[in-house]
């Protein structure tokens, strides 16, 4: 059913349609509207047989989720940024125990300095947590992905993070197509755990495993991730057939036929980029966009296929690794191992700095003009802000425009 509503409400409705047994929440912007609404559904009785817990911290939120999921209830929670980091110990525990929890991460920068606006440093910091990480490019995508996420998690036996850009999506008021309860019930059966705590068949969950079996335990976790690649595609296919939606999948290609350049983008900037790509097309510039939906598991083969024989790829990254480089780019290079393809990172949109069509336009032009001479470049830099400090303190000044790694390195050597 079509509705003109806020993204957060859309997600809350999607979650409610999945009939979770337990939802726990600790407030942090920009995730608040989602859990506020789920809480409301529980209170009004729209969402039946569901326990909504207001806990005292994200650490507890994740822990409650672990308990309820281990207890055999379909479990949901949401967080962002610092909250996600406060959960981390539990996040690893949840994946280690194979608990199919679904959690929204309303992606937001990590402090300090404290910053409430959107980028991907929180979600990507959990790259190695053993969770599936699915990114959404629009609120419609978010609504559908949440519904699929429960099925994927429960099929694979691993928890899933649904990452949607904070504010940009969560607070955007848009037209959304919310599937009916009947459709969702048909798609998502009542949760039947592989194993859960119950008094008729006692088990001990969470044993201590020493060197004699730890490696094997890890291999089995990696195997679940391998299975997840297939499951994500199957579930997406089933969901699309059922609802006619275009959401989900491992990745999504736009204008990729014989494009001279391909941009790999995660999240809400994909939409902005698509519009800009269309404008560029009119200028005769042919650029493709690969919207990376599944960051974990990372679809190496699918991605290589999507890139095809394109010679130039830019990863638009909204987080990076201090002292290192990009986070997405190395993965793409792995995917393209041995193929003759130029892959680079362009960092933009950190801590809420808006990514405009013009930003995309600039990146494309610079790329095609071969202006990105290095693997790692900060694109949307305001040199004046930077210089206002470095000139005073060290007499160092940066030129306007993108700043690449060597410029940073050299500025130190002076």
Q: Of 140-169, which residues contact other proteins (CB under 8 A)?
A: 157, 165, 167-169
Among 8, 31, 32, 60, binds other proteins (CB under 8 A): 60
119 neighbors 349 (Cβ within 8 angstroms): yes
Site for other proteins in 194-223 (CB under 8 A): 194-199, 201-210, 212-213, 216-217, 220
Q: Token digits for 101?
A: 């929890």
CA distance 375 to 319: 15
Q: Which pairing describes strands 132-135 and 22-25: parallel, antiparallel, or unpaired?
A: unpaired
Q: Does 4 bind other proteins (CB under 8 A)?
A: yes
Is residue 6 within the footprint of other proteins (CB under 8 A)?
yes
Of residues 268 through 297, those in contact with other proteins by CB under 8 A are 268-272, 274-275
Burial of 103 (0-12, 13-18, 19+ CB in 10 A): buried
Closer of 136 and 303 to other proteins (Cβ): 136
Q: How many residues bind other proteins (CB under 8 A)?
A: 84
Each residue of 72-90: b (16+ CB within 10 Å) or e?
Answer: ebbbbbbbbbbbbbbbeeb
Instruction: Give me the DSSP letters along 100-145.
Output: --EEEEEE-PPPSSP--S--SHHHHHTTTSS-EEEE-SSHHHHHHH
Nearer CB in complex with other proteins: 96/308:
96
In angstroms, the CA 402 to CA 364 distance is: 13
Pairing of strands 251-254, 376-378: unpaired
Q: How far is the CB of 413 from other proteins (least distance, A)?
A: 37
204 vs 340, beta carbon nearer other proteins: 204
* 413 is a contact residue toward other proteins (CB under 8 A): no
Interface residue with other proteins among 44, 56, 323, 337 (CB under 8 A) is 56
Give 133 or 269: the residue with its C-beta nearer to other proteins: 269
**Which string of x and - marks every residue 108-147 that binds other proteins (by CB under 8 A)?**
--------xxx-------------------x---------
Minimum gap (Å) between residue 97 Cβ and other proteins: 6
Q: Segment 68-107, which members bind other proteins (CB under 8 A)?
A: 68-73, 75, 89-90, 93, 96-98
| Residue from 27, 43, 54, 311 binding other proteins (CB under 8 A) | 54
- The CA distance from 109 to 89, in Å, is 19
- The angle, 0 to 180 degrees and rounded to 10, between the axes of the packed helices 7-17 and 139-156 is 30
Site for other proteins in 325-364 (CB under 8 A): 352, 354-357
């Amino acid at each position: 059913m079509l509705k003109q509503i806020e993204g957060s409400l859309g997600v809350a409705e999607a979650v409610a349609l999945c009939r979770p047994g337990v939802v726990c929440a600790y407030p942090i912007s920009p995730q608040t509207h989602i859990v506020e609404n789920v809480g409301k559904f529980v209170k009004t009785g729209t969402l039946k047989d569901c326990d909504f817990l207001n806990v005292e911290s994200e650490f507890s939120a994740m822990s409650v989720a672990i308990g309820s999921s281990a207890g055999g209830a379909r479990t949901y929670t949401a967080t962002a940024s610092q909250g996600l980091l406060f959960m981390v110990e539990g996040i690893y525990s949840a994946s280690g125990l194979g608990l199919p929890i679904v959690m929204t991460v309303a992606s937001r920068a990590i402090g300090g300095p404290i910053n409430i606006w959107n980028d991907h440093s929180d979600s990507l910091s959990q790259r190695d947590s053993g969770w599936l990480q699915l990114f959404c490019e629009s609120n419609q995508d978010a609504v559908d992905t949440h519904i699929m996420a429960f099925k994927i998690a429960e099929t694979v036996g691993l928890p899933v993070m649904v990452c949607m850009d904070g504010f940009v999506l969560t607070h955007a008021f848009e037209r959304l197509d919310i599937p009916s309860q009947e459709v969702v019930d048909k798609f998502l059966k009542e949760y039947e755990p592989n194993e859960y705590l119950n008094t008729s068949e006692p088990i001990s969950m969470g044993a201590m495993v020493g060197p004699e079996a730890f490696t094997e335990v890890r291999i089995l976790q990696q195997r679940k991730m391998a299975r997840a690649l297939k499951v994500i595609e199957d579930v997406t296919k089933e969901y699309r057939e059922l609802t006619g939606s275009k959401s989900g999948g491992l990745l999504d290609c736009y204008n990729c036929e014989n494009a001279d350049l391909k941009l790999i983008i995660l999240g809400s900037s994909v939409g902005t980029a698509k519009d800009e790509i269309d404008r560029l097309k009119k200028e005769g510039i042919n650029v493709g966009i690969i919207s990376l939906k599944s960051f974990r598991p990372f679809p190496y083969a699918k991605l290589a296929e999507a890139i095809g024989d394109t010679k130039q790829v830019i990863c638009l990254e909204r987080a990076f690794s201090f002292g290192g480089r990009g986070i997405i780019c190395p993965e793409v290079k792995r995917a393209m191992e041995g193929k003759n393809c130029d892959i680079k990172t362009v960092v933009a949109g950190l801590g809420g700095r808006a990514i405009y069509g013009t930003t995309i336009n600039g990146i494309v032009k610079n790329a095609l003009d071969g202006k990105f001479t290095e693997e790692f470049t900060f694109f949307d830099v305001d040199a004046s802000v930077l210089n206002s400090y470095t000139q005073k303190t060290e007499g160092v000044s940066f030129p306007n425009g993108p700043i690449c790694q060597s410029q940073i390195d050299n500025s130190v050597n002076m």
